């Protein structure tokens, strides 16, 4: 049940009503910035959702239009399509990829790799230990799919290592598919660079009070 907040009060993180006069100015300022930025972020999230829907719509319409030129009607999911602008500057990829998870065999692989690492010594073993520890590090309740699969690319002729790789392969479970649309722009050297839509990857010039960009 929502409670009307009296004027001059606000709720804290525990749901208690606190008078503004009893809140430190720095906390009031932080509250203002946090609320403003998160409101903007939610608006941007909605804009990105609309953009993503439009991107898929236009790409799938294009795929169907091309198929119609050959009197073919495509059914089911469409994926792994690449188109370019006429001048080659822009590229759009529509890709479909399996979503995978790991079964209990992964724990057997972890144990086998532990036995292998305990047997070997030297600088190379330290590098491998780092890779293995990173691959099996749990974040948000999951291990890194990319790091686990990366171990499969390391060719080591040792029985425990080979058995561990077999256990990893046996642990892989396909739990569905996901579709992605990605955008690229070609630079002066002919390389296609992703146009980032992840806020962490967007470049930004931050100007300080002295007017100099960092």
Q: pLDDT 10s per residue in the chain (214 long)? A: 566 889 999 999 999 999 999 999 999 999 999 999 999 999 999 999 999 999 999 998 998 898 888 876 655 555 688 999 999 999 999 988 888 899 999 999 999 999 999 888 665 577 888 899 999 998 888 899 999 999 999 999 999 999 999 999 999 998 888 888 999 999 999 999 999 998 887 776 545 555 554 4
Distance CA 68, CA 7 (A): 63
Whether residues 85 and 63 share a domain: the answer is no
Is 210 inside any structural domain? Answer: no
Is 133 inside any structural domain? Answer: yes
Whether residues 94 and 13 share a domain: the answer is no
Whether residues 154 and 192 share a domain: the answer is yes
Q: How far is CA 16 from the centre of its chain?
A: 36
Which residues touch 170 (CB under 8 Å, ≥6 apart)? 103, 105
> Which of 102, 152, 160 has its CA nearest to residue 131?
152
Q: State how many domains the chain has.
A: 2
Whether residues 59 and 134 share a domain: the answer is no
Record the tokens describing residue 90, joined without a space: 């822009």
Domain that holds residue 52: 6-76
């Amino acid at each position: 049940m929502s409670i009307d907040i009296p004027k001059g009060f606000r709720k804290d993180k525990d749901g208690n009503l606190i008078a503004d006069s009893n809140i430190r100015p720095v906390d009031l300022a932080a509250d203002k910035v946090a609320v403003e930025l998160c409101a903007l972020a939610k608006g941007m999230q909605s804009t990105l959702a609309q953009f993503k829907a439009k991107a898929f719509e236009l790409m799938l319409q294009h795929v169907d239009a091309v198929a119609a030129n050959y009197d073919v009607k495509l059914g089911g999911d469409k994926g792994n399509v690449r188109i370019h602008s006429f001048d080659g500057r822009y590229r759009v990829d529509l890709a479909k990829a399996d979503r995978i998870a790991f079964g209990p065999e992964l724990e057997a692989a972890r144990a086998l790799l532990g036995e292998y690492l305990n047997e070997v010594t030297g600088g190379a073993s330290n590098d491998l230990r780092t890779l293995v520890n990173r691959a099996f590090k749990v974040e948000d309740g999951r291990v890194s799919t990319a790091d686990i699969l990366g171990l499969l690319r390391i060719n080591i002729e040792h029985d425990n290592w080979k058995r561990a790789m077999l256990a990893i392969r046996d642990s892989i479970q396909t739990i569905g598919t996901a579709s992605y649309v990605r955008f690229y722009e070609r630079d002066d050297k002919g390389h296609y660079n992703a146009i980032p839509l992840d806020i962490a990857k967007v470049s930004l010039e931050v100007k300080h009070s002295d007017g100099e960009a960092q």
